[in-house]
Amino acid sequence: MGTNGTTCSGTMKATSNGVFQGDNPLHFALPLLILQICIVLLLTRVLAFLLRPLRQPRVIAEIVGGILLGPSALGKSSKFLSTVFPAKSLTVLDTLANLGLIFFLFLVGLELDPKSLKRTGKKALSIALAGITLPFILGIGTSFVLRSSIADGVSKAPFLVFMGVALSITAFPVLARILAEIKLLTTDIGKIALSAAAVNDVAAWILLALAVALSGDGNSPLTSLWVFLAGCGFVLFCIYAVQPGIKWIAKRCPEGEPVKEQYVCYTLGIVLAASFVTDLIGIHALFGAFVIGVIFPKEGNFANSLVEKVEDLVSGLFLPLYFVSSGLKTDVATIQGAQSWGLLVLVIVTACFGKIVGTVGVSLYCKVPLDESLALGFLMNTKGLVELIVLNIGKDRGVLNDQVFAIMVLMAIFTTFMTTPLVLAVYKPGKSLTKGDYNNRTLEETNRSNKPLRLMFCFQSIMNIPTIVNLIEASRGTNRKESLSVYAMHLMELSERSSAILMAHKVRKNGLPFWNKDKSGTSSSDMVVVAFEAFRRLGRVSVRPMTAISAISTIHEDICRSAERKSVAMVILPFHKHVRLDRTWETTRNEYRGINKKVMDESPCSVAILVDRGLGGTTRVASSDFSLAITVLFFGGNDDREALAFAVRMAEHPGITLTVVRFIPSEEFKPENVKLEITEDQTGSCSGETRLTDIEAITELKAKIKEQETSRSDSDSVSQIVYEERIVKCYEDVCEAIKEYSRSNLFLVGKSPDGSVASGLNVLRSDTPELGPVGNLLTSSESVSTVASVLVVQQYVARCDSPVVGVLKNLMEEESPVKDTESP
């Protein structure tokens, strides 16, 4: 079956009959298109892998891959070009590439929130305007030089505008990817760069629409005016007629329920219809899709579902075809002679000078530090897909010839490639931070210094929130005058999806960019926001939500840097397993275990792993009704003292009952007869100094209990602390003693307890050495049956002989990649 009868010898039939029927599949449209797609995907993915150590965005690999397949490299072979990319197949390839680009521009518009543009600060707005105006003016100036040399004969007005737009563009999606790769996505400088780039992006599309209107074939200026006015009318029609219909559909897609197939079909049909209308007007089909994306309601479940359904296919399969389509038009060989190469240098210098100088100048005027101003200048100089769209439209309309087109494509590659290394070279705020920036790196030190306690809770999903809220309530220390500062950090994996990155652009004032506030419903995310806001209003508790967006392999660096920057005393991490309804363990994600181990190795403060079995229920209760039974199993050592210090802090809450059980070996205790299976962080018997420190901690606890007993008659709200000593002869005695406290809500234990009793613990399973012998005993062993949650604590110890534990490695090379709404 052919695509168009037999009237033209240049057409290709769609499918072949196969080689056994004598047909060459490469002479038919469908098998040839499949081969082209496979080659494109293979080449671009290999290039992306090779460029990954240089921390370059994937768009660089896709642009370079397209150029390599074109006449600049492999296309120099006429046999390769006529076999794989024959001229008669390019119409099908271009059509499919542009179809994918239409849906991609819809997704880009979906990521741009007009409401957030209204909230753009004066600083970001000023930087954006400077980053557009100066390069646009310089682009117009450069166009005069190009017209007098290699672009003679082209239309003057369209060429001026196209050159101005090409030099003033900042690629918003590419910039977001670069910021994520260098861990600046949600920092202050990242937020300014993204906000400015979003404004720049919208302005670029408006200028591009003007350029397209001016580049029409009509000789009368009125034609361009009618095109521009019709485009404005189309935008108004979408806002006042199309948008209400889309909102009506979005309201019928409640959160937590699958989106109906018909709604997805309606939406994609609207996108295609809008693209047809803008193409009919004479602008470009891409504008219609982009406008529909911009006016699309961002709240609720519908937008997220659309992105999930469309993005992988479009970004992974169709979008690389557009880069190849562009690369087939790029012939670097057209840049010949000193004049052409000189013009290439001129264009690159002009583009960099306009963006960098304009951005840096305004940034310094806005009192941004010099290193941050330079970094902003380099970041705003990022080019990418939108740049290629502008250049391709200009070439298709005859505004740009082959030589100018090749020069502009190389300029886009060079400016984007240099962004990451230059930003890393000039912007290293972490050098000013040292290990001595704060002293209270442990709870034990914080309690003694009577300084405000700072805790950082990390969580991966809203499943962790109820336990975190209850643990914050328990840590309030209601008898203390000092405040409690809590940083709740949401750990988000940086994926290849652009939508996963551009969520950072939606940062709201409450610091929760990953939760949408749907006022019409009571989603689980709303409950989380309410819970944190409730704590925020408590007089002695400040809860500040934060976000870390990074690759799983490096997200532990984000946690450590943030802990250092916020001067926290303890980082609390969730266990990598969760309890199912049948009370058995299920692995949430095995990579989380690696995160926990790395944080324990490299943290600048104490660390705790929370093994949650439903601490305090699934919802938060009022402080007056809050009650927990907490047990500390004390064997001795630094980690046990840290657990004890945390428990004593919790015991100040009137609803908490604390029991401290100290295990003392009897004369008959023989640890050498017991086998120890924990394989990491082994500790021997405690030193004399550690034993004396343990005795001091127990003495202080007894004094506190005595003080409590004297004040009990004056106030009934004073919490109860019970201290018990258990003399054990063997491992079985330890298990029997622990069983007596199995009805507790929470156990606090040290990761690496000291002493002969601890060294004699026999753990049946050792697949989680990060929990230590006691933590494993409480979570994995059948010898102790309990449904209590367990908090395994490791105290920060700056030891010279330890290469990892308690030592902050060279992690302060860059600023923390997290965003919180307030500074302490």
Asked which of 38-47, 110-119, 163-172, 744-753 is least confident by mean pLDDT, the reply is 110-119
Report the SS3 class of residue 13: strand
What is the structure's pLDDT at 644? 92
What is the structure's pLDDT at 377? 92
Compute the 3-state secondary structure of the chain and give helix, strand, coil in percent, each to the nearest 5. 55, 10, 35
Asked which of 75-84, 302-311, 616-625, 639-648 is least confident by mean pLDDT, the reply is 616-625
What is the structure's pLDDT at 678? 45
Confidence check: pLDDT of 204 > 60: yes
What is the structure's pLDDT at 507? 40
Confidence check: pLDDT of 233 > 80: yes
Asked if residue 479 lies in contact with residue 717, where contact means CB atoms within 8 angstroms, the answer is: no
The residue with tokens 């469309």 is: 310
Asked which of 27-36, 346-355, 553-562 is least confident by mean pLDDT, the reply is 553-562
The residue with tokens 């034993």 is: 691
Residues 6 or more apart whose Cβ sits within 8 Å of residue 776:
678, 763, 765, 766, 768, 769
Question: Band of the pLDDT at 40, cuts 50, 70, 90?
Answer: very high
Averaged pLDDT score across all residues of the chain: 80
Residues 174 and 413: their CA atoms lie apart, in Å, by 12
φ, ψ (nearest 5 deg) of residue 506: -95, 20
- Which whole number is the average pLDDT over 306-329? 87
Confidence check: pLDDT of 326 > 70: yes
- Per-residue tokens: 556: 């532990």
Confidence check: pLDDT of 535 > 80: no
What is the structure's pLDDT at 517? 36
Confidence check: pLDDT of 576 > 90: no
Asked if residue 60 lies in contact with residue 382, where contact means CB atoms within 8 angstroms, the answer is: no
- The segment with the largest mean pLDDT, out of 111-115, 151-155, 378-382, is 378-382
Q: What percentage of residues in the chain have a pLDDT greater than 90?
A: 25
Going from the N-terminus, what domains does the chain have, and what CATH number goes with each?
A: 23-78+87-426 (1.20.1530.20), 443-511+524-667+696-705+718-799 (3.40.50.12370)
What is the structure's pLDDT at 806? 36
What is the structure's pLDDT at 53? 86
- Which whole number is the average pLDDT over 25-54? 92
What is the structure's pLDDT at 30? 92
Q: What percentage of residues in the chain have a pLDDT greater than 70?
A: 80
Report the SS3 class of residue 93: helix
Question: Band of the pLDDT at 218, cuts 50, 70, 90?
Answer: low
**What are the tens digits of pLDDT across the range 581-622?**
777 778 888 888 899 999 999 999 999 999 988 775 555 555
**What are the tens digits of pLDDT across the range 731-745?**
788 888 888 888 888
Confidence check: pLDDT of 760 > 50: yes
- Per-residue tokens: 799: 């030891």
Confidence check: pLDDT of 771 > 50: yes
Confidence check: pLDDT of 348 > 80: yes
Asked which of 261-265, 546-550, 562-566 is least confident by mean pLDDT, the reply is 546-550
Confidence check: pLDDT of 300 > 80: no
**What are the tens digits of pLDDT across the range 355-368?**
999 999 999 998 88
User: What is 682-696 written as a DSSP string?
Assistant: ---SPPHHHHHHHHH
Residues 428 and 470: their CA atoms lie apart, in Å, by 38
- Which whole number is the average pLDDT over 538-563? 80
What is the structure's pLDDT at 245? 92
Residues 426 and 420: their CA atoms lie apart, in Å, by 10
Confidence check: pLDDT of 81 > 70: yes
Question: Band of the pLDDT at 478, cuts 50, 70, 90?
Answer: low
Question: Band of the pLDDT at 782, cuts 50, 70, 90?
Answer: low
- Which whole number is the average pLDDT over 461-474? 80
Alpha carbon distance, N-terminus to C-terminus of the chain: 70
- Which whole number is the average pLDDT over 413-428? 88
- Per-residue tokens: 639: 């980690």
Question: Band of the pLDDT at 670, cuts 50, 70, 90?
Answer: low
Question: Band of the pLDDT at 799, cuts 50, 70, 90?
Answer: low
Q: What type of residue sits at position 168?
A: S
Confidence check: pLDDT of 60 > 50: yes
Confidence check: pLDDT of 749 > 90: yes
Residues 615 and 78: their CA atoms lie apart, in Å, by 70
Which secondary-structure segment (H or E) carries 286? helix 285-295
φ, ψ (nearest 5 deg) of residue 609: -110, 125
Confidence check: pLDDT of 272 > 80: yes
What is the structure's pLDDT at 251? 87
Confidence check: pLDDT of 754 > 80: yes
| Strand-pair partners of 664 | 727
- Which whole number is the average pLDDT over 557-583? 87
Burial class (CB in 10 A: 0-12, 13-18, 19+), 685: middle
Which is higher by pLDDT, 547 or 137? 137
What is the structure's pLDDT at 664? 87
Question: Band of the pLDDT at 715, cuts 50, 70, 90?
Answer: low
**What are the tens digits of pLDDT across the range 627-662?**
788 999 999 889 999 999 999 888 888 788 899 999
Question: Band of the pLDDT at 214, cuts 50, 70, 90?
Answer: confident
What is the structure's pLDDT at 83? 92
Residues 6 or more apart whose Cβ sits within 8 Å of residue 618:
466
Question: Band of the pLDDT at 234, cuts 50, 70, 90?
Answer: very high
**Nearest CA among 125, 127, 129, 131 for reference residue 353:** 131
Confidence check: pLDDT of 35 > 60: yes
Asked if residue 674 lies in contact with residue 791, where contact means CB atoms within 8 angstroms, the answer is: no
Asked if residue 794 lies in contact with residue 639, where contact means CB atoms within 8 angstroms, the answer is: yes
**Nearest CA among 625, 691, 670, 626 for reference residue 760:** 670
- Per-residue tokens: 55: 């921390």
What is the structure's pLDDT at 793? 94
Residues 85 and 66: their CA atoms lie apart, in Å, by 12
Asked if residue 665 lies in contact with residue 761, where contact means CB atoms within 8 angstroms, the answer is: no
Question: Band of the pLDDT at 809, cuts 50, 70, 90?
Answer: very low
Residues 6 or more apart whose Cβ sits within 8 Å of residue 385:
59, 104, 171, 173, 174, 319, 322
The residue with tokens 């960019």 is: 513
- Per-residue tokens: 402: 């082959």
What is the structure's pLDDT at 798? 74
What is the structure's pLDDT at 522? 40
Residues 6 or more apart whose Cβ sits within 8 Å of residue 667:
none
- Which whole number is the average pLDDT over 131-149? 90
What is the structure's pLDDT at 383? 87
Question: Band of the pLDDT at 765, cuts 50, 70, 90?
Answer: low
Establish how many alpha carbons lie within 13 A of residue 218's alpha carbon, considering only the half-sphere containing its beta carbon: 14
What is the structure's pLDDT at 814? 36
- Which whole number is the average pLDDT over 561-588? 85
- Which whole number is the average pLDDT over 339-350? 92
Confidence check: pLDDT of 396 > 80: yes
**Nearest CA among 467, 476, 650, 453 for reference residue 566:** 453
The CA-atom distances, in angstroms, between 590 and each of 492, 587, 593, 768, 789 are: 15, 6, 6, 11, 20
Asked if residue 274 lies in contact with residue 292, where contact means CB atoms within 8 angstroms, the answer is: yes
Asked if residue 793 lies in contact with residue 639, where contact means CB atoms within 8 angstroms, the answer is: yes
**What are the tens digits of pLDDT across the range 483-520?**
788 888 888 887 666 554 444 444 433 333 333 333 33
Report the SS3 class of residue 778: helix
Confidence check: pLDDT of 260 > 90: no
Confidence check: pLDDT of 47 > 50: yes
- Which whole number is the average pLDDT over 774-785? 78
